[in-house]
Chains A and B, each alone.
Chain A
Amino acid sequence: MRAFANRNPRTVQEAVAIVQVARGEGRTAYVAGGGTDLLQLVKDHIPNRPGRGELDVLINLKSVPALDRIEVTPAGGLSLGALVTLTELVEHATVRERFAALAEAASVVATPQIRNVGTVGGNLAQRPWCWYFRNGFPCFKAGGDRCFSAGGENQLHAIFGGGPSYIVHPSDLAPALVALGAMFRITGAAGERMVSASDFFVLPRTDALRENVLADDDVLVGVDVPAPALGTRSTYHKIMDREAWTHALSSAAVVLEMDGDLCRRASVVLGGVAPIPWRVPEAEALLVGRRVTPELAREVGAAAVAGARPLAKNAYKVPLTRSVVERTVLALASRA
C-alpha cells in the first residue's frame, strides 16, 4: 500500500482542519470510520473522492470521543453517533424494537467482521460498488466523464433515477433512514448543519461525481431519527444474489403507521435500484387510509415500479422489485 500518515484528531473540528491544511499543502486527506472500504479503495488506487489524489493523510475518526453513542432521546427518538458500529445497531434493544427497519438493515450488511468495524457514517457515505468503478475505470464516480455501465454490463445497475451515471446506492441503512425520516448531522468548515436523509443523497443528474452533499472537508457526525408515532412498525427486506456478503439487487424499507388494520401513513423506500434511496410516493399514497389486503399489496408493488426505466440488461429488477414491495408491505401489515 501507498505510504500515508495516520492522524488521530480529538475533535471533529480538528478533523476538518486536518483536511483543510492537507489541501493547502497539496496533499489528500480522507476521513475513516471503520476504514474497511476506504482501505480497499486505497489498495486499488481508486480515488475515494472524485478527482482527488491518492491518500496522503488518513484521519482516524475513531479517536474522537463520544461519536460512538446510541442515545434514546426523552421524546423517544434516536440519536446515533456516526461511529456507532453496525453490530451495535443490530444489538441495541430499543433500535430492534422501535426502529426495526434500521436494525434489520444493519443486520444484512456484509458480514459480522465488517459489521463489527463498519460504522453508520461509513455505511451511509460508502462509495458505489459498481464493477466499473471498483475495477478502476475512469467513470464519473472516479472523476471521469462517462458511465461505462450505460452501454455496457448493467445487470446490477439503476432502474430508477439513472443518468448520466447509473450506479445504485450501496447502503442498506440509507433506505431505512430515509423511510424513518432521519436527519443527518454534518460538521464542516462553517460549523454544524442538519440535512434530512432524503436531501442528503444526490442524484447523478444533480452531480454525477458524488452520491451525497458532503464536501471534501465535511464530516458526517451523526444521525437523528424522530420518535415513531404510535402504531408505527417498520421493516427492511434485502434481495441479494447470494445469501449474504453482497449488495442489494433490490431492497425495500417500509414504515407503516397503523391504526387497527387501517394504514395512516406509509413510507416505501427502495434500495439497490437507484443512485439514491428511492422513495415511491405513488406506492405510499395507495396505502394511506386503506386496509392492507393482498390485493392492495399487489397494487402497491405495481405502483412502486410504474416509473422504472430499466437498462438493456436489468429488466429483471422490475418484477423482482414489484414482488419485494408487495411481499414486504403485506408481511409488515400482517405482523401481529
Chain B
Amino acid sequence: MEDAHRNTPAHPADELDRRDFLKGSGAALVAAGLTSPAAVGAVPPSGSAQQAAPEAPSTFLRFTLNGAPYNLRVEDRWTLAEMLRDHLMGFLGTKVGCERGECGACTVLVDGAPVYSCSTLAVWMEGRSVRTVEGLAPRGELSPLQRAFVDHNAPQCGFCTPGQLMTATALLERNPSPTPDEVRRGMVGNLCRCANYNAIVEAVMAAARGATTTGGGA
C-alpha cells in the first residue's frame, strides 16, 4: 500500500502523465494558457430583463405517477429523479444520494420494478407507470411495510429509507414470503451508510409475516 501512495521523483513520463491528464479531462478540468484574466466578480444581470437559460430539446410526456395520469413537457436530458423532484410539485420524497447508480437512494418503481431514477431519463417514461414513496401512503395511512419500518427502527438518518421502501415493496409484491437472505439479495442495490441493515431486513421480514402494529394486508 505504501507503494500505491508514493510520489515518485519527477520522471519525464510522469510529467507527461500530468500534463496529458489535464489536456483531456473535460472542460471543467481544463487548465490552459489563456488570454488575460477577465474582470472576475459578481456578474450583473445583463439589461433589465432576466436572462433565461437557453432552450434544451424537450418532449411532451404522458405517464402515470402513483396511479394518476400526468402530462408535461420535459427536457430530454432530465433524469426521472430530476423531473420528480424539481418539476412536479410534492415528489421530494425520492432522494438523490450519488446520481451515479451507486447508492440506491433514488429507487422508484417503474411498471412495478425497482429502478434508479437518477440513471434513467424522464422522457423514457412515456406510457409507463411510476410509483414513488408518496404512493405508499396516499391518504396518510402508512402501508404495512412502512409500519414495520417504524416498529423495527429501520430508518436511522432516513435518507436511504424511501429507496429501501420502494425496493422492499416490489420485492414483497413478487415474493410475499421471502427468506432473510432473499431480502438481502433483493435489496443489495440500496446502501445504508448508517449500516442499519439488520433492522431493515427485520422490518421487511416482519411486514412479510404481517406482524406490524396495524396488522397485515395491503
Residues on A facing B (Cβ under 8 Å): 1-6, 34-36, 39-40, 43-46, 58, 60, 62, 87, 110-114, 116-117, 136-138, 142-144, 146, 148, 151, 153, 155, 243-245, 312-313
With A116-B113, A142-B24 as contacts: A6 and B120 at CB distance below 8 Å: no
| Bound CA span A93–B99, Å | 34
Residue in chain B with minimal CB distance to A60 = B124
User: Do A138 and B24 have beta carbons less than 8 Å apart?
Assistant: yes
User: Do A39 and B79 have beta carbons less than 8 Å apart?
Assistant: yes
Number of A-B residue pairs, CB cutoff 8 Å, is 112
Give the chain B neighbours of A313 by CB distance below 8 A.
Answer: 3-4
A35 touches which of B59, B104, B121 (Cβ 8 Å) = B121
User: Do B188 and A111 have beta carbons less than 8 Å apart?
Assistant: yes
Give the chain B neighbours of A144 by CB distance below 8 A.
Answer: 20, 24
B167 touches which of A113, A117, A137, A155 (Cβ 8 Å) = A113
User: Do A136 and B119 have beta carbons less than 8 Å apart?
Assistant: no
Residue in chain B with minimal CB distance to A145 = B20
A136 touches which of B25, B75, B115 (Cβ 8 Å) = B25
User: Do B76 and A114 have beta carbons less than 8 Å apart?
Assistant: no
**15 additional contacts (CB under 8 A) given A3-B57, A114-B116, A245-B189:** A2-B77, A6-B121, A6-B123, A6-B124, A35-B121, A39-B79, A43-B100, A112-B186, A112-B189, A113-B115, A138-B24, A144-B24, A148-B17, A244-B188, A244-B189
User: Do A40 and B77 have beta carbons less than 8 Å apart?
Assistant: no
With A45-B26, A112-B167, A136-B25 as contacts: A117 and B115 at CB distance below 8 Å: yes
Give the chain A neighbours of B107 by CB distance below 8 A.
Answer: 113
User: Do A35 and B21 have beta carbons less than 8 Å apart?
Assistant: no
| Bound CA span A87–B114, Å | 11
User: Do A6 and B76 have beta carbons less than 8 Å apart?
Assistant: yes
| Bound CA span A60–B123, Å | 10
Give the chain A neighbours of B120 by CB distance below 8 A.
Answer: 34-36, 39, 117
Check: B29 CB closer than 8 A to any chain A CB: yes
Q: How far is the CB of A149 from chain B (nearest CB, A)?
A: 12
Q: How far is the CB of B195 from chain A (nearest CB, A)?
A: 13
Q: How far is the CB of A289 from chain B (nearest CB, A)?
A: 39
Residues on B facing A (Cβ under 8 Å): 3-4, 13, 17, 20-21, 23-29, 54, 56-57, 59, 75-77, 79, 99-102, 104, 107, 110, 113-116, 119-121, 123-124, 167, 185-189
Give the chain A neighbours of B24 by CB distance below 8 A.
Answer: 136-138, 142-144
Residue in chain A with minimal CB distance to B76 = A6
Give the chain B neighbours of A60 by CB distance below 8 A.
Answer: 123-124
Contact sample, A vs B, 30 pairs, CB 8 Å cutoff: A1-B77, A2-B77, A3-B57, A3-B75, A4-B57, A4-B76, A5-B76, A6-B59, A6-B124, A36-B101, A39-B120, A39-B121, A40-B101, A40-B119, A43-B99, A45-B27, A111-B189, A112-B188, A112-B189, A113-B104, A113-B114, A114-B189, A116-B113, A136-B24, A137-B24, A137-B25, A144-B20, A144-B24, A146-B17, A244-B188
User: Do A36 and B116 have beta carbons less than 8 Å apart?
Assistant: yes
Give the chain A neighbours of B3 by CB distance below 8 A.
Answer: 312-313
Interface of B is mostly: mixed
User: Do A138 and B119 have beta carbons less than 8 Å apart?
Assistant: no
Residue in chain A with minimal CB distance to B186 = A112
Give the chain B neighbours of A6 by CB distance below 8 A.
Answer: 57, 59, 76, 121, 123-124
With A40-B101, A138-B24, A151-B13 as contacts: A3 and B115 at CB distance below 8 Å: no
Give the chain B neighbours of A117 by CB distance below 8 A.
Answer: 115-116, 119-120
Give the chain B neighbours of A245 by CB distance below 8 A.
Answer: 102, 188-189
Q: How far is the CB of A112 from chain B (nearest CB, A)?
A: 5
| Bound CA span A113–B80, Å | 14
Q: How far is the CB of A69 from chain B (nearest CB, A)?
A: 17
Give the chain A neighbours of B99 by CB distance below 8 A.
Answer: 43
Give the chain A neighbours of B167 by CB distance below 8 A.
Answer: 112-113
The 9 closest A-B pairs by CB, nearest first: A111-B189, A138-B24, A3-B56, A45-B26, A5-B57, A6-B76, A136-B25, A116-B113, A244-B188
| Bound CA span A245–B185, Å | 11
Name, among B3, B79, B113, the residue most crowded by chain A CB atoms within 10 Å (CB to CB): B113
User: Do A243 and B188 have beta carbons less than 8 Å apart?
Assistant: yes
Give the chain A neighbours of B188 by CB distance below 8 A.
Answer: 111-112, 243-245
